[in-house]
Structure 1
Amino acid sequence: MTKHLDSASREYFKSLPQARYEGQDSTNDFAYRYYDKNRMVMGKSMEEQLRLSVCFWHTFCWDGSDVFGAGGFHRPWHQMDDPKDAAAAKREAAFDLFSILDLPFYSFHDVDVMAPAETAQEHVTYLNEAVEHLEGLMASSGQKLLWGTANNFSHPRYMAGASTNPNPDIAAFAALQVREALNATHRLGGSNYVLWGGREGYDTILNTKIGQELDQLGRFLSLVVEHKHKIGFTGDILIEPKPHEPTKHQYDSTVQTVHAFLQRYGLEREVRVNIEANHATLAGLSFEHEVDMAFALDLFGSLDLNRGDPQNGWDTDQFPNDLREVTLVLKSILSAGGLRNGGLNFDAKVRRQSITAEDVAQAHIGAVDLMARALLNAEAMIQDGRLDQFREQRYAGWQGGIGAKMLAGEVNLDAVADFALSSNHAPNPVSGRQEWLENVVTQLVR
């Protein structure tokens, strides 16, 4: 069975047609209608501006299972007898899809690309074997690594957290995974390294020393930053905020809580954020809010693209489809100078009933086109200028007079209060014109 399935895995995506740009009038379900990777947008090609990435975990590792039922995808590598052969077949199939989609980046957790390991030595050995294979695949394909990370949440040992675990032996095992994954990311030329604290939180305060767990997490992150500099990794270290699920409360719940945490442990110049759309909405915030907040706090790093279902209220990780939302996000990114080391990673999975290879490819193709279309809309918004001009005009009073002195720290509270007293009039509010601004967005989202 193993040999037959290995052959099947090699052919799983190869039967699909190559995705190419054909223009908006194309009726080909495997064509890009908006993503012309060489088209110039604000001084860079679409490919450079979007830095699109396919993820390993949802796209190739998930078997379609959920908490109520077994998986129904039956990908060939899910059914192979030998775990090492299955991991190798999965890696090769992934690079087949990367080639078909013609996207520049990919991302992975350590356990996504390697055979299952239980002991520390097995983990090191199996991950190294996987990295050697990935090196060869990347060399022959030209594929680049957007970021790597360690899965410190799925194994039962992490049921009470990784770095925040009450057992320091488990925190040490997590440190091993992170060291090896960071080394692998560096070796593969990755642009970033991400830490997602999926279980760095608590389910009940009754058994939790919150202050100590925060100190454990802060020290662990400091060790990661120290190791980054030790090995000469020049990419960014990123934290991915999420408010809850799987824990009741996670310590890195939003961009602002991450910023406060980094400031407390002196890491605000060393670590940035990888923002996921579905995590933002789980926190009761919008995707564009979290992105703008990251820029305001000088923390922006990279993005995971997905969405939740508003009727579900949990992390459904669906492919993005809200053109208005992603247009505003890309406008913020373009206005701030672009993605730098970051990218747009499709941390999304097809629905459980979408069981074919075609479903996987077409989900990505549609999402790529959405981002390309949003990029063109964002460029049009910036060139139109009305949104930015109104916002600048609304805050123009702070550019001089008492406003500028307040911001510069040139006056105390008495001076500001005396200014109001000397003016001897009641200041009048000015319209925020929200409805008109929303109309302008509607006009420019096409």
Structure 2
Amino acid sequence: MSMYGSGQASKRQKRETRNFDTNEFFPGLSRVEYRPEAGPDETLFYRYYGGATERVHGRTMEEWLRPAVSFPHAFRSTGADAFGQQTFQRPWDDGTNTMDNFKRRIRAAFEFYTKLVVSHHSYFNNLGHVGAKYWTLYDRDLCPEGETPEETGRNMDEAIELVTELQQRTGVRPLWLGVDLFSHPRYVHGAGTSPEAGVVAMAGAQVRRGMEAAHRLGAEAFLFPAAREGFPSILHSDIQREMRNYARFLRMAAEFKEKLGFRGQLLLAPTVPEGPACGSGGWAKGGTGFGGGAGGHSYLYDAMSALCFLKHHQLDRHFKLSVHLGNDVHISSAFGVLGSLDTYSPTEDGIYHDPSVIDLREATLAMKTILEQNGLPSGGGLNVVAAPHRQSIELRDLFVAHISRIDAFARALKAASRMLTDGQRYLSFHTGFGSRMAGGAGSPTAVGASGIVATSPGGTTTEATPGLEECEEYVRKHGEPTQTSARHEHWEATLAHYL
């Protein structure tokens, strides 16, 4: 029996707005308009993001980007840091760990979502009054954790009732709901990889409750952060045991998803250098925060290590990856597991120095990859992480932070669509020896006398791929291959032009 009672999972909320218009928390701040001609000081307008009104590469910008406001960054950020106390005084947050305070934050968030609308005077009425159509959150953003699982369940039921009403009135729904297996002290040694069986059981119970919440709220995906899944030292860690336990933990979640009937995508979020799970330099087991030395190791260090883990434990058919800007985007796309994208990225030293700084070059390269893979799958989108600086204490700053970030990715999308190449770099693999080497663009299915027999996407058998003997025969016949230029500088200049 679920701790939420016997209620059936709610149907996915309809996308149209149902008369949600209030100025309870953001008086004097109206819906955001799309105004390409806006001046440099007019920062409360979209200059590039046309939402559902502008098409790029055959789809609307909204369909390509699917921006979702990160609730914890926008509405639980206080401006405090490792060296200073809270600087934000928000009308929706009195600092208490009460249901009233949690519910007030949620109401403020939905007012904010509806005001991030994309409108243009002449066709505003045709768009409806929906702004950010998606939001992202963790289970612990909905309600305080009670002293008992039963109390937590009652709190969650109360929060879900409010959120369901607001989603029905606004058309906003979760892009993904994640399970917070990192903030509570019980997870100091990890959740699924904890050396304490009781902690693993608590984490499993929390996953169950969280996935039920995602199901009831119509979330398109359910996210597992790997923030604490690592080991601080080999001196007292059984790596094989911990990884086996974590694989079983994720498999239990995948099995429960089927029992529940949750149709959303399961997402796994690898950690990053100097982030959570990186020992004394990060938030890891024994960590103290960003920066500083090393001393810890994450099991899911990046997209490639996460993919290796999933494939080794035969979990790759259940999970896709939620990644940050950078190489992880391109690696996960190449293996068909790019599920969703965060709009911030670490610098070369792996530290998130300033989440408000947008690397337009990296954003454009990411959008190029997303265009080439024909978009993000269901459950994927842009998790817009845009917490203002601790010095930016006005409510207006929260709007500008999100507008500028969404606008940057809209600009990147437009640039990427203009610079897609025609595939000349790999032209030699389209015919002859190169075509057979590539297996006719199909996947290997059986070993033949001279190599591997491949099948085309349509299922027909192609020529056998060559073996090493055929490579030598090709070299005798054609000699030394002609070198071609990568024209790297040309493409960098082209990218700079479009930016």
Fold match, TM over 0.5? yes
Structure 1 residues 414 and 143, CA gap change in structure 2 (3 angstroms): closer
Counterpart CA distance in 2 for 1:411 and 1:50 is 39
Structure 1 residues 80 and 324, CA gap change in structure 2 (3 angstroms): closer
Q: Which residue number corresponds to residue 33 of structure 2?
A: 20
Question: What's the CA shift for 1:417?
Answer: 4.5
Structure 1 residues 82 and 424, CA gap change in structure 2 (3 angstroms): closer
Counterpart CA distance in 2 for 1:381 and 1:235 is 33
Residue 158 of structure 1 aligns to which amino acid in structure 2? Y
Identify which of 225, 228, 253 aligns with 2:254. 225
Task: State which drifts further: 370-379 or 155-164.
Answer: 370-379
Structure 1 residues 429 and 129, CA gap change in structure 2 (3 angstroms): same
Structure 1 residues 155 and 294, CA gap change in structure 2 (3 angstroms): same
Counterpart CA distance in 1 for 2:193 and 2:402 is 35
| 1:153 correspondence with 2:215 | no
Question: What's the CA shift for 1:265?
Answer: 1.0
Stretches of structure 1 lacking an aligned partner (at least 5 in a row): 1-8, 278-286, 383-387
| 1:443 correspondence with 2:491 | no
Identify which of 104, 111, 122 aligns with 2:151. 122
Q: Which residue number corresponds to residue 409 of structure 2?
A: 371
Q: Which residue number corresponds to residue 329 of structure 2?
A: 291
Stretches of structure 2 lacking an aligned partner (at least 5 in a row): 1-21, 117-130, 273-277, 285-295, 440-451, 453-463
Counterpart contact for 1:275–1:291, Cα < 8 Å: yes
| 1:333 correspondence with 2:370 | yes
Residue 294 of structure 1 aligns to which amino acid in structure 2? S
SS at match of 2:438: helix
Instruction: Give the 5 Å matches for 1:10-159.
Output: 11-26=24-39, 27-37=41-51, 38-79=53-94, 81=96, 83-101=98-116, 102-159=131-188
Residue 68 of structure 2 aligns to which amino acid in structure 1? S
Instruction: Give the 5 Å matches for 1:229-248.
Output: 229-243=258-272, 244=278, 245-247=282-284, 248=296
Counterpart CA distance in 1 for 2:105 and 2:247 is 35
Counterpart contact for 2:73–2:387, Cα < 8 Å: yes
Q: Which residue number corresponds to residue 383 of structure 2?
A: 345
Counterpart CA distance in 1 for 2:317 and 2:195 is 29
Counterpart contact for 2:97–2:144, Cα < 8 Å: no
Identify which of 271, 293, 298 aligns with 2:319. 271
Which structure features the higher share of helix residues? 1
Counterpart CA distance in 2 for 1:353 and 1:25 is 25
Counterpart CA distance in 1 for 2:95 and 2:475 is 80
Question: What's the CA shift for 1:42?
Answer: 2.3
Structure 1 residues 132 and 167, CA gap change in structure 2 (3 angstroms): same
Question: What's the CA shift for 1:92?
Answer: 0.5
Question: What's the CA shift for 1:404?
Answer: 3.0
Residue 406 of structure 2 aligns to which amino acid in structure 1? V
SS at match of 1:62: coil
Counterpart CA distance in 2 for 1:214 and 1:82 is 35
Q: Which residue number corresponds to residue 5 of structure 1?
A: none
Structure 1 residues 419 and 296, CA gap change in structure 2 (3 angstroms): same
Question: What's the CA shift for 1:354?
Answer: 1.6
Question: What's the CA shift for 1:316?
Answer: 3.9
Question: What's the CA shift for 1:115?
Answer: 2.1
Question: What's the CA shift for 1:427?
Answer: 2.6
Q: Which residue number corresponds to residue 422 of structure 1?
A: 476
Counterpart CA distance in 2 for 1:316 and 1:176 is 34
Question: What's the CA shift for 1:166?
Answer: 0.5
Counterpart CA distance in 1 for 2:299 and 2:84 is 30
Counterpart CA distance in 1 for 2:228 and 2:195 is 12
Q: Which residue number corresponds to residue 257 of structure 1?
A: 305
Residue 353 of structure 1 aligns to which amino acid in structure 2? Q
Q: Alpha carbon RMSD of aligned pairs, Å? A: 2.1
Task: State which drifts further: 237-246 or 405-414.
Answer: 405-414
The percentage of counterpart residues that share the same residue type is 33
| 1:432 correspondence with 2:486 | yes
Question: What's the CA shift for 1:226?
Answer: 0.9
Counterpart CA distance in 1 for 2:415 and 2:230 is 39
Question: What's the CA shift for 1:223?
Answer: 0.9
SS at match of 1:147: strand
Q: Which residue number corresponds to residue 434 of structure 2?
A: 403
Counterpart contact for 1:12–1:357, Cα < 8 Å: no
Counterpart CA distance in 2 for 1:226 and 1:250 is 25
TM-score, normalised to structure 2's length?
Answer: 0.80
Structure 1 residues 14 and 225, CA gap change in structure 2 (3 angstroms): farther
Counterpart CA distance in 1 for 2:468 and 2:478 is 16
Structure 1 residues 170 and 62, CA gap change in structure 2 (3 angstroms): same
Counterpart contact for 2:99–2:144, Cα < 8 Å: yes
Structure 1 residues 152 and 72, CA gap change in structure 2 (3 angstroms): same
SS at match of 1:361: helix
SS at match of 2:383: strand
Q: Which residue number corresponds to residue 360 of structure 1?
A: 398
SS at match of 1:54: strand
Question: What's the CA shift for 1:150?
Answer: 1.0
Counterpart contact for 1:307–1:316, Cα < 8 Å: no
Residue 340 of structure 1 aligns to which amino acid in structure 2? P
Residue 87 of structure 2 aligns to which amino acid in structure 1? G
Counterpart contact for 1:307–1:320, Cα < 8 Å: no
Residue 91 of structure 1 aligns to which amino acid in structure 2? I
Question: What's the CA shift for 1:86?
Answer: 0.5
Q: Which residue number corresponds to residue 6 of structure 1?
A: none
Counterpart CA distance in 1 for 2:144 and 2:28 is 26
